[in-house]
Amino acid sequence: MKTDVEELSPTRVKLTIEVPFEELDHAFDVTYKSLAKQVRIKGFRPGKAPARLIDRYVGRGAVISEAVNHAVPELYNEAVQQKDVFALGQPDVEITKLEDGDELTFTAEVDIRPKFEVADYEGLEVTVDDADVTDEQVDDQVGNLRERFATLTGAERPAENGDHLSIDLSAAIDGEKLDDVQASGISYEIGTNTMLEGLDDALQGMSTGESKTFSTKLVGGEYEGREADVTVTVHSVKVKELPELDDEFAQMASEFDTIEELRADVRTRLEQSRRLQQLSQARDRALEKLVDSIDIPLPDSVVDEEITRRRQSLEQQLTQSGLTKESYLEAQEQTEEEFEEELTKGAGSAVKAGFILDQLALQEELAADNNELSQYVVEQAQRMGISPDQLAQHLVESNQIRVAYTEVVRAKAMSLVVEKAKITDESGNEIEPDAPEESEDAAETPETAAEAPEEAPAEEAETGSKA
């Protein structure tokens, strides 16, 4: 087999592959065995018909075509390996010469990763936010824990901001009741503004057993955006009572004996969390600096594929959340043009970052072993809420093991960049890049350290690889 490589652009090549017919013997053997099982020739059992009869029965041209279709992918992969071409995606193949008993020639155009070196990645200067924890932040965290141990008690007075109400809702348009737009026994806190516009104002001053009608636009469902008359009925008004911040509360809400011990533990956990945030920020900013420092061409097809992937991912998230793209753009305060521009820019940056990390991994001879791949599978499975065995099976069946391998190696390359970077916080303190071990205790916030009492109110709400 003879292979010539022509560079069409810095990100695309054309391989011309010439193959003598004798090198197709294996492909013909496979083809004849397959066809022999499909055809029925008198005097021969299925699968036992000789090649010369199969040629006569199905036609020599059909046999050659089948054999070539089987051989071309293998020949292409062999050529890519021999010429050290880092191919991206599927090639555009064209048969240019096919003479029975003589030669097969075909071309394959394919996008490739651009050739470049990652230089001067050591010593990148990165500034991150300070990790200091303020008394106010500790107070907020303790306050959140206190909220979880609050109790609700009935109030014999009109409803006020912050009260918890049990309400019924029904709606009508032009006097016609909407059977599909009604709900009973809804628990709602006045002042949260999480349901219908105008509901919070209507509930202010209402007492148990009272009803009131107000006009508003409906959200969601068949009548979304329609003006309707909504009737709200109050069944109960309850006040949230918070426990005292004393030693008794500390003993009830945590494993500590005093409120000061609890506050000290909260501060420690917040400091650990801020430290991890610092390191995450360091990684993001170091990668951003590295990407900005290297100018390389990007294959349009790979960028387009990343744009499509990101768009589909967003559409899936919006569907699961019951939102429309229009409402998403409104919340983001973006026009369609601004969204597309940001999507394209982000996709290009992601593809470029992947190329850079891949190249750095090659330069530094980084690799992933089985233990690291297993750890990656376990971590991803936890995030997806499935078992590691399920994810591993999916990766194998969908031929995505190489993608997992690439992700692990890229992470190691990124860790190397951070390790070699000069990281300081805004106050000028140098930050060591080695992340502390995030144990279960460190990751657990005080709110999860104990169960709240039952009467507490419930809270709402592979870029490419070598072929």
Phi, psi of 385 (to 5 degrees): 75, 30
Q: What is the pTM of this model?
A: 0.69
pLDDT tens per residue, range 32-83: 888 877 777 766 666 567 777 777 777 888 888 889 999 999 999 999 999 9
What's the confidence (pLDDT) of residue 320? 86
Q: Phi first, then psi: what are they for 64, rounded to 5°? A: -60, -45
Which pLDDT score is estimated for 180?
80
pLDDT-flagged residues of the chain (< 50): 435-467
Give pLDDT, residue 409. Answer: 95
Residues 6+ apart with CB under 8 A from 232: 167, 168, 169, 199, 202, 203, 206, 211, 212, 213, 214
Would you state the pLDDT for residue 455? 36
> What's residue 465's pLDDT?
39
pLDDT for residue 434: 64
Whether 2-112 and 151-241 share one fold: the answer is no
- For the chain, give every domain's residue range: 2-112, 151-241
Q: How far is CA 78 from CA 11, 93, 378, 382, 463, in A?
A: 20, 15, 34, 38, 21
Contacts of 278 (CB under 8 A, 6+ apart): 128, 129, 131, 425, 431
Q: Domain 2-112 is in which class?
A: alpha beta
- Confirm if 4 and 15 have CB atoms less than 8 A apart: yes
pLDDT at residue 43 in the model: 61
Distance between CA 298 and CA 333 in Å, rounded? Answer: 30
pLDDT of residue 225: 84
Task: In whole angstroms, give the CA distance from residue 67 to residue 90.
Answer: 20
State pLDDT tens for residues 156-166.
Answer: 899 999 999 99
Residue that has been written with the tokens 């199969």 in this structure:
54
Which residue bears the tokens 């997992």?
404
CA distances from residue 388 to 378, 385, 443 in whole angstroms, order as listed: 5, 9, 21
What CATH number is given for 151-241 in this structure? 3.10.50.40
